[in-house]
Structures are given as structure tokens and as C-alpha cells.
Structure 1
Amino acid sequence: MKATYKEVKSDILAKIVKGDWGPGHLVPNEVDLALAYGCARATVNRAMRELADDGIIERRRKAGTRVRMTPVRQARFDIPIVRDEVEEKGADYRYSLVSREVDLAPDWLRARLQLPAGGKALHLICMHYADGVPYEHEDRWINLSALPTAEAADFGMQGPTEWLLATIPFSKVEINLSAGLADQKLADYLACSVGDPVFLAERSTWWEGDAVTHVRLSYRPGYRLTTRY
């Protein structure tokens, strides 16, 4: 079966996101890509035009097509990876998958991300540690209608954020930062006391109009947020 333009686009995006084709990499010409994907050149052309419109690649006559040095999605916002945060502090990082289940998206999630009724979502609870001390509690939902491959993904060894960044780009991000108080369950996870102040970060991402994921991150007392632009 011949590849569709969406499949061609998705595969090229995966190569870029995973770093196989880094910034400035010269992308093969449309004829070679059409042969590689077993499709018409027009199919490749459509995929390349959309990638250029998304700000992922740059097309220049006679100079060829290259991965942009600063892709639009990276220039707008860089989603942090907790492993990097911990290791930059000089601490040993450890990750643990607490629970994983597939269920119908709850009403609050459907309202938050404007998901249709009856859609399934993957619910993950994860913990991240620095030198053995709780660092971040992660409560994540992944929309399986937008990213069905997540259902079979192995999150036992790799955190969801790292997997998502290597699998799908994002075109829109919404972030909410707030302060809260630890309830009993969160206090147990973060090794703090009930009622202690905790820092909360909620983040939702979309790709081409489809909601991909929503995550609520909770940090124990004393956490400091650092951003760089």
C-alpha cells in the first residue's frame, strides 16, 4: 500500500524530532523520498509543503530543503525534561511508573481539551526522584484518538514527557501555574505533610488542532521554577 501524505509527513517529523535529521540537515529530494516511501512525488510534495508551513523545514530553490536551524515549535516553547532538571542540579535521577490504565476520558478532561464523548485516554501516574528524594509527581492523560501508539508504549523505563517529545511535535501549549496544599495522597507521594504548600504546574499540548496530552505536575515544598528563553 502506498504511503499517504500524512504518513510521509509523520515519518519525516519523527526523524527530525528524534534527532536523526538535526537542524540544518539536508533533506533528500522529492524524487528520492517518493521512491523510499513508495508513493507519488505529489504526495511527498504535499507533505513537504505542510512541514514548511509549520515552520519545521525550509525550502529554497536550487539550495534544496533543510531542517530549520530553529524550528518554530522549539522557538515558541521548550518543554523541560525532568531528568535534565535533576541531573543539572548534580543529583542522581530515578523514575518510577506508579500506575497505568486505559479508560474513557473523564468529563473534566473532555471539557478541558474539547474531546468527543466516548473517546479513550491513557492515564499514567509517575514519580520522579532526585538522590532518592521525591522531586515531581506526574498525573498525565494522553488522548488515544490523537496518539493511539501511546497505548502500546512502554512507560516502565522512560517517562511520558521524553517519549512524547520523541514521538510527536506540538503546535500549541497551554500552561497554568499555581500554589496548592498537599492532601493525604499527594503528601504520601512527595514525602511531605498534609497541608504543606506545593507548587503545581498543569500543561496541555495540541498538534494541528488535536489535543494530545494533559499533565498535572506537583512539587514538594522548596521547589524553585527556572525558565530560560
Structure 2
Amino acid sequence: MSKESAPRSSLHERIRSDLEGKILSGAWPPGHRIPTEQELRTEYGCSRMTVNKVMTQLANAGLVLRRRKTGSIVMPQQSQNAVLEIKDIKDEVTAQGGTYRHEVVERVLRKAAPSEAGELGIEDGTEVLALTCLHYADEAPFCLEDRVINLEVAPAARTESFAELAPGVWLLRHIPWSEAEHTIAAVGASARVAKLLDLSAGTPCLVMERRTWRQGETVTEVRLTYPGAANRLSARFTPSAT
């Protein structure tokens, strides 16, 4: 079968895949001149419209910079790490078709331990709010939340019950954050975690630890533990120009 007789949609996808592959593999480094649209038309035996559509998509994805007179070039690419959004656990449950509820298992006002004080950027002995919260999907434990809140940044949390809004949602609505850090690991469930999530001790779990800051001040530190067999982490992303 000749290139010209291939279905237009598949040919378009093949051209885009070929060009993306050369860019993302480094075969075409930043600054490399992309073949002209006429050259691509000749190589693939396709219409001008097909090539133009591909180049427009590559430009929108930040892969190329289109120049009318001098030709398109490959753009510098940032590290291709997925950027994880701070999502509402309720949305995660409902997106899977489940019925959501949460329960505050423990709520303690106490002094920060030395290790916590260092991570939160506060003085030893500063009062913090420690929370343990269970999130359910169809009455089955979906996620265990262990959180410490810096009351110097979020003083209103001191009297908040979190009965209506889970701690993460409440913080997102009341305390704007400017920076976040995620750490993700696979961890065997401890006896405590296994009991709360209704698992056997040692069961693999997906653990996400997160800290958020507001203009350099730590707002909260949280550890979210998900039963590994029932959850997975995915993110869709595109490279961006520096």
C-alpha cells in the first residue's frame, strides 16, 4: 500500500508520532530545524493540510516553535516529570463511581515533636493540630489521611471539626498555597495502618507524602495511604518550553 492510499487519520497520527519520537528521544535536539512543510509533504506523500495540522499540534504541545520564514525548530524541553495536582479525595472516589464519606478518627491539639518542627519550619513545642481521617468508597476504606497543620499559618483550624469538609478540602478553600512537594512510595502496611484500612499487616500500599507552603511558610504535612491493590497513580502531561 502506498503512503498516499493510507487513511488520512492514520497517516496524520503516524507523522505526528514520527516527529514526536525524534524530538522526545533527543535525536532532534533543541534548536534543530524541522523539515519544511513541503519536505514533509514529499516524504509522506500527503496534503499540506495534514502536515499543517501536525505542526500546529506539536507547537501547541510546546515541542516546536513555528517560524514563517526561517522554518520551525525544536524547543527546549523541561524535565518530563508528571506534575501531580492536589485533588479532592471525594472526587477520586466519585470519579470511580463510588459513594464517598469521610470520618475524623482522631483530632489532637499538641506540641510539635522536634522532627515535625523541623519539617514544618516552626520552633520546638509550637502547638499544632494532628488529624487522622479515613476516607471511604462505598463504605470500604479508600484512603487513610495522617495530617499535621501549622496553626501559626492556619489558626482557624484550631476550632474546626472537619465534619462537613475533609481537612484537605478545608485547607484548599481557606489557606491559599504557593508551593507543594510530593513524595510517593510503595510501603507495606503497619499494624496500625492495616487495622484502619481493614487490611492484613504488610499489605502493599501506595503512600503519598505532601507538604504545602504559603509564601515560604509550611501550611501542612500529610501522609495519604491507599491500599495498593485497589489504587494506581497516573498522570497525563506534555513537555513545556523553558
CA deviation after TM superposition for structure 1 residue 106, in Å: 1.2
* Inter-partner Cα distance in structure 2 for 1:135 and 1:227: 19
Measure how far apart 1:136 and its partner are: 0.2
**3-state SS of 1:188 partner:** helix
Letter in 2 for 1:98: V
**Cα RMSD (Å):** 1.3
CA deviations over 1:132-191 (Å, ceiling 9, x no partner) = 111000000000011111101121221001101110111111111011111111101111
Q: Which residue matches 2:19?
A: none
In structure 2, stretches of 5+ residues that fail to align are 1-82, 238-242
Aligned residue runs from structure 1 range 126-141, under 5 A = 126-141=133-148
- Does 1:111 pair with 2:118? yes
Q: CA deviation at 1:77?
A: 6.0
Indicate whether 1:225 and 2:211 are aligned: no
Q: Which moved more, 1:198-207 or 1:150-159?
A: 150-159
For the pair shown, which has the larger CA radius of gyration, 1 or 2? 2
Native 8 Å contact 2:102 2:134 kept in 1:
yes
Supply the AA of the counterpart residue of 1:109. E
Aligned ranges 1:36-51 → 2 under 5 Å: none
Per-residue Cα deviation, 1:26-80 (whole angstroms, up to 9, x for no partner): xxxxxxxxxxxxxxxxxxxxxxxxxxxxxxxxxxxxxxxxxxxxxxxxxx86311
Once the two structures are TM-superposed, the CA of residue 114 in structure 1 deviates from its matched residue by 2.1
Q: Secondary structure at the match of 1:124?
A: strand
Partner of 2:37: none
CA distance, structure 2, for counterparts of residue 103 and residue 190 of structure 1: 25
TM-score using structure 1 length: 0.65
Shift of 1:228: 4.4
Cα deviation for residue 118 of structure 1 reads 2.6
Deviation at 1:117, TM superposition (A): 2.1
CA distance in 2, matches of 1:112, 1:224: 27
What displacement does 1:108 show? 1.4
- Report what 2:108 is aligned to: 101
1:31 aligned residue: none
Residue 42 of structure 1: aligned partner: none
For 2:192 and 2:107, the matched residues in 1 are separated by: 17
Amino acid at match of 1:140: R
TM-score using structure 2 length: 0.61
SS at match of 1:155: coil
How far does residue 200 in structure 1 lie from its aligned partner after superposition? 0.5
Q: Tell me how far apart the structure 2 counterparts of residues 187 and 118 of structure 1 sit (CA, whole Å).
A: 30
1:179 partnered with 2:186: yes
CA 1:228–1:148: 2 relative to 1, 3 Å: farther
Distance in 1 (alpha carbons) for counterparts of 2:232 and 2:103: 22
| Residue 209 of structure 1: how far off its partner (Å) | 1.2
Runs of 4+ in 1 over 2 A off after TM superposition: 226-229
* Residue 189 in structure 1 maps to residue 189 in structure 2: no
Same amino acid, percent of matched pairs = 38
Which blocks of at least 5 consecutive residues in structure 1 are unaligned?
A: 1-75
Instruction: Give CA-to-partner distance per residue, 1:187-224, whole Å, 9 cap, x none.
Output: 01111101111110000001011111000000113111
Aligned length: 154
AA aligned to 1:189 is L
Mapping for residues 58-207 of structure 1, pairs under 5 Å: 78-207=85-214
Is contact 2:84–2:235 with CA below 8 Å preserved after alignment? Answer: no
Q: Which amino acid aligns with 2:234?
A: T
